[in-house]
Amino acid sequence: MKLIKTISFLTISLSSAFVANSAIAGYSWTYTGSGETCPIGGCVESDTFAGKTVTSTATGWYSETTSGASMQEANKLRVWDGLSVEATTADTGTPNHATDNNGWYDSVLFDFGGDSVELDQVVMGWHQDTDFSLLRYTGNDTPALTGNSYSDLTATEGWELVSNYFCSCSSSSSGSDISFNVNADNKSSSYWLVAAINPAYFDNNNYIGNDYFKIKTLAGSYVEPTVPPTAVSAPATGLLMLLGGMFLYSNARKREDQLNVMAA
């Protein structure tokens, strides 16, 4: 019996080396203010849940509206009831004081500092018509946006279009938030891009040129890293085989003794 328990313990110990990743839900990152400009390096928000702090850094990006135009970092990213991209010094006034697709194709990059995040909600603060694309980065390095077009991102630069989201929303004032449930397939990444919809991701002119919104809150889960399987050493494997052999030998001897008693 003791031998059987020893073998069972070793089997459980070896199999427990394979640990799957898990997600910790309950995180949100809210960007709000009174028209402040994000500092160089981006606007930073952090949230702590279950003892783990995850930080999101937002930066603004844009391209010209001509086909294949290269992306550039925006002149400014402002915070006022959400994040608004000021592509150039001419990109101001209502309703262009937003993340939009009129004059330029705007987007906001969210960098989670190496932590893998599974987004499930995007909340817009101030908004009018709100159609946007959600992308995640699938590479293992730092993504390069400068000099690439929006089409390049998904074609050659390791980005994946998660989905497009549409809302023929009425104009809002501050405090009239609108929420979108996103990422139905529960995908994760350390980099997410929210872009006012443009022809690279949805080629329908009826939906392009009239979207204005400010990205106020992202919500989702922190995905814990997968623990790699622990290699089973040769001595441990040999010990398990030895104990197994001893167990089989013991059973064989016991059966032989029982047969001898029956024959006597």
Each residue's pLDDT tens digit, 153-188: 999 999 999 999 999 887 766 568 999 999 999 999
User: Encoding tokens for residue 26?
Assistant: 């309950």
Give residue 2's pLDDT band: very low, low, confident or very high (50, 70, 90).
Answer: very low
Q: Determine the average pLDDT of the residues in 203-223.
A: 95
Cβ burial of 256 (10 Å; 0-12, 13-18, 19+) is exposed
* Confidence at residue 25, expressed as pLDDT on a 0 to 100 scale: 81
* Confidence at residue 11, expressed as pLDDT on a 0 to 100 scale: 41
User: Encoding tokens for residue 207?
Assistant: 């939906």
Q: 3-state class of 196 per DSSP? A: strand
Q: 3-state class of 18 per DSSP? A: coil
Alpha helices in 83-223 (DSSP H): 150-155
Q: What is the CA radius of gyration of the chain?
A: 28
Give residue 4's pLDDT band: very low, low, confident or very high (50, 70, 90).
Answer: very low
Tell me the residue type at 214: K
Give residue 219's pLDDT band: very low, low, confident or very high (50, 70, 90).
Answer: very high
Answer yes or no: are the C-beta atoms of 143 and 239 closer than 8 Å: no
Residue 101 has pLDDT above 50, yes or no: yes
* Confidence at residue 17, expressed as pLDDT on a 0 to 100 scale: 42
Answer yes or no: are the C-beta atoms of 83 and 108 closer than 8 Å: yes
* Dist. CA 66–CA 146, nearest whole Å: 16
* Confidence at residue 253, expressed as pLDDT on a 0 to 100 scale: 58
Residue with tokens 């969210």: 110
Mean pLDDT of the chain: 85
% the chain with pLDDT above 70:
76
The Cα-based distances of 258 to 32, 171, 249, 264 in angstroms read: 82, 89, 14, 10
Residue 36 has pLDDT above 50, yes or no: yes
Q: Name the residue with higher pLDDT: 44 or 8.
A: 44
Q: Determine the average pLDDT of the residues in 52-56.
A: 97
